Chains A and B, each alone.
Chain A
């Protein structure tokens, strides 16, 4: 062996040693870690409001009636109308109505109960706190439902929809048979207010899944919601 080849042989041996050492470690001393970094799940709102309805009051129009007497005040800007004093009223029972209108001039709110009776006494100031709430009436929920997965495994699929208002009162309960194509735009008419809607996927007598959402029903408007059930 030439003297010049000695370093080369030494390097080769060293390389082999390193390789064998590393192989030994990878196979025996160390494990394999697979890291998957997923996006943390984000909370989603379950509230559903009707599209294209401005429910922000911009002006008030106040109407007072007593017999054939009618006094109309307004439209007052929302700020000015927050506290109003009307004087020079004759004594007697007046009926107060308030129309709250949005920027488009559409009446969207009124006094809770529609009107308020106020007794005006001679020489006295009558005080009223009028609560303005969304206009009463009925609106529509357009409900669609889809089933993803093994629809064929279901024998008698149907959904049961229950609407409960904020007072906990069940307002309506309906059930629908579900075709394979799902349900599309079922029109459900409800009094205007917020609801908790419970949609249950039922097969025969068994409740397979329950989903909740919170639709807002506005008088004369339509709220749309699609519920999707996943069947493994």
Chain B
């Protein structure tokens, strides 16, 4: 029993020893430890406030509610406070731009502090634990309570290249260095013509929210040649601080050497070599049939002052066929391909027309109007290609040459190609009522009504090349007037020319050309 009590007593003593051993440890580290780190942007402005915004010292106030500790320390990024009673501590930090080395106190102006919290204070709270190190990373913001100012001066007094009336454009906008976004609410835009050719322009912006500002300055001037393309342009950053009595001052001093910028102006012209629009070719008639020996005209629809043309027939280039239109006499029947190649710029295109060519008319063969061909214009002398005689004499012939016998018509000609004109002259004579010429024009065969009285040379050809007429032995009127009251005729039988009185009744054979 006694031994049991001794054991219990031993255990109690051992427990107390162990307990006091822990208390001994507790006694050596009775408080918590707080490590404070400061974070601050090191960015420099091109234009800075008149006050020094570099942090030189911090004033740190720790408040547990029952105890307040104030520390002043020269600028450093971290420090450690030991011996804090465990619990919730409030931390407030104010940065200054000065440090009094003699008193080891902060001095100068406040330049940064903790950002304002949701509860309106500029302090943060950390829980300090017994025997542990609590780390507080504090982001300081530039002090932004109040407003600042920015005075910007642009001077170009040393620019000899500038003539008069420069235009100055200034764009200023607030820039949030933390978010990276521009603040649209703090924009300032100014574009002004300097009418008095002043070499300095100064503007002052008041009541600016403290912070960063981007300043885009552009001076557009005329150069010595009068071109308004000489300019200076740059972007600067200014920092505006609160409680800065002088404000931020920025001065741009522009010299000739700084006018190192130029412009490129150009115009694009496009040559995408697209196919030539509306390129096609057509014939001058809609007849589906072509004949050999007849001049056919083709036309290209594409027109351009810079276009050049080359015509081909069956793949063979035609010499000197380099116009927009093309005339061609096919010499062989069958299928032919007429092609035009058009070059315009760097584009060469083409179109093709396939035509069926029938064997053409020949002397003695039936003509277009049911008559007989008696002349072919093989040398392409006339506007037409063939002369065709009517298949029969006029039914009312023999007949007089004209009802007018005592007045010359005048101006009628002998040669081939003049019969139609002669006919018109005869009919047009004053007092004309009836004539062989008029009867020819009234003649219709196979739907064709373009007949006329042949000239003497046409008549000679007709009789020479038409066996049927030659065999008749008849006399035929020509439209060529010989002398007063007479007209030339042709004796088919004797193959001689006659002049016969206009009253005489002579046969008439109309002809036509095509």
> Interface on A for B, CB 8 Å cutoff?
37-47, 49, 55-57, 60, 64, 81-91, 94, 96, 98, 100, 108-109, 112, 118, 120-134, 164-167, 193-196, 198, 200, 209-214, 216
8 Å CB contacts to A: which residues of B240-273?
A: 259-273
Complex contact A91–B260 (CB within 8 A) = yes
Interchain Cβ contacts under 8 Å between A and B, 15 examples:
A37-B288, A38-B288, A41-B353, A44-B354, A49-B275, A90-B261, A109-B272, A120-B263, A122-B260, A129-B266, A129-B267, A129-B269, A196-B348, A209-B314, A212-B339
CB nearest neighbor in B for A92: B262
Please tell me if B364 contacts chain A, counting CB pairs below 8 Å. Answer: no
List, in ascending order, chain A residues with CB within 8 A of B259's CB. Answer: 122-123
Complex contact B261–A122 (CB within 8 A) = yes
Please tell me if B118 contacts chain A, counting CB pairs below 8 Å. Answer: no
Known: A122-B262, A166-B347. A43 touches B352 (CB 8 A): yes
8 Å CB contacts to A: which residues of B292-320?
A: 312, 314-316
Number of interface residues, chain B, beta carbon within 8 A: 52
Please tell me if B230 contacts chain A, counting CB pairs below 8 Å. Answer: yes
Q: How far is the CA of A90 from the CA of B337 in the complex (A)?
A: 61
List, in ascending order, chain A residues with CB within 8 A of B288's CB. Answer: 37-41
Complex contact A131–B266 (CB within 8 A) = no
List, in ascending order, chain B residues with CB within 8 A of A209's CB. Answer: 314-315
Complex contact B270–A132 (CB within 8 A) = yes
Complex contact B350–A47 (CB within 8 A) = yes
Q: How far is the CB of B329 from chain A (nearest CB, A)?
A: 18
Q: CB within 8 A of B356: which of A41, A60, A132, A216?
A: A41
Complex contact B272–A57 (CB within 8 A) = yes
Q: How far is the CB of A104 from chain B (nearest CB, A)?
A: 15
Interchain residue pairs A-B with the least CB separation, the first 6? A210-B315, A128-B266, A123-B230, A125-B229, A120-B262, A46-B350
Q: CB within 8 A of B274: which of A55, A125, A196?
A: A55
Q: CB within 8 A of A198: which of B230, B262, B264, B315?
A: B315
CB nearest neighbor in B for A167: B346
Known: A40-B288, A87-B229, A90-B260. A127 touches B266 (CB 8 A): yes
Known pairs A46-B339, A194-B347, A210-B314 / 18 extra A-B pairs, C-beta < 8 Å: A42-B353, A43-B280, A44-B352, A57-B272, A88-B261, A89-B261, A100-B270, A124-B225, A125-B263, A127-B265, A130-B266, A130-B269, A131-B268, A165-B348, A166-B343, A196-B348, A196-B350, A213-B350
Complex contact B229–A134 (CB within 8 A) = no
Q: CB within 8 A of B261: which of A87, A166, A211, A216?
A: A87
Complex contact A125–B348 (CB within 8 A) = no
Q: How far is the CA of A109 from the CA of B270 in the complex (A)?
A: 9
Please tell me if B279 contacts chain A, counting CB pairs below 8 Å. Answer: yes
Q: How far is the CB of B98 from chain A (nearest CB, A)?
A: 42
Q: How far is the CA of A124 from the CA of B272 in the complex (A)?
A: 31
Known: A123-B161, A124-B262, A126-B263. A132 touches B272 (CB 8 A): yes
Complex contact B230–A193 (CB within 8 A) = no
Q: How far is the CB of A211 from chain B (nearest CB, A)?
A: 6
Please tell me if B233 contacts chain A, counting CB pairs below 8 Å. Answer: yes
CB nearest neighbor in A for B231: A87
Q: How far is the CA of A96 from the CA of B268 in the complex (A)?
A: 12
Q: CB within 8 A of A212: which of B272, B286, B350?
A: B350
- Candidate in B286, B339, B356 with the most chain A CB atoms within 10 angstroms: B339
Q: CB within 8 A of A214: which of B271, B287, B348?
A: B348
List, in ascending order, chain B residues with CB within 8 A of A81's CB. Answer: 268
List, in ascending order, chain A residues with CB within 8 A of B286's CB. Answer: 40
CB nearest neighbor in A for B290: A41
Complex contact B341–A212 (CB within 8 A) = yes
CB nearest neighbor in B for A94: B264
CB nearest neighbor in A for B220: A87
Q: CB within 8 A of B351: which of A40, A46, A85, A123?
A: A46
List, in ascending order, chain B residues with CB within 8 A of A39's CB. Answer: 288
Q: How far is the CB of A78 from chain B (nearest CB, A)?
A: 8
Kindly supply a per-residue 1/0 record for chain B positions 441-469, scoring 1 wherever the CB is within 8 Å of any chain A CB and 0 otherwise.
Answer: 00000000000000000000000000000
8 Å CB contacts to A: which residues of B108-151?
A: none
Q: CB within 8 A of B345: which of A49, A89, A166?
A: A166
Q: How far is the CB of B123 from chain A (nearest CB, A)?
A: 48
Complex contact B268–A82 (CB within 8 A) = yes
Complex contact B269–A131 (CB within 8 A) = yes
Please tell me if B349 contacts chain A, counting CB pairs below 8 Å. Answer: yes
Please tell me if B355 contacts chain A, counting CB pairs below 8 Å. Answer: yes
Q: How far is the CB of B280 from chain A (nearest CB, A)?
A: 5
Q: How far is the CA of A100 from the CA of B273 in the complex (A)?
A: 14
List, in ascending order, chain A residues with CB within 8 A of B314's CB. Answer: 209-210
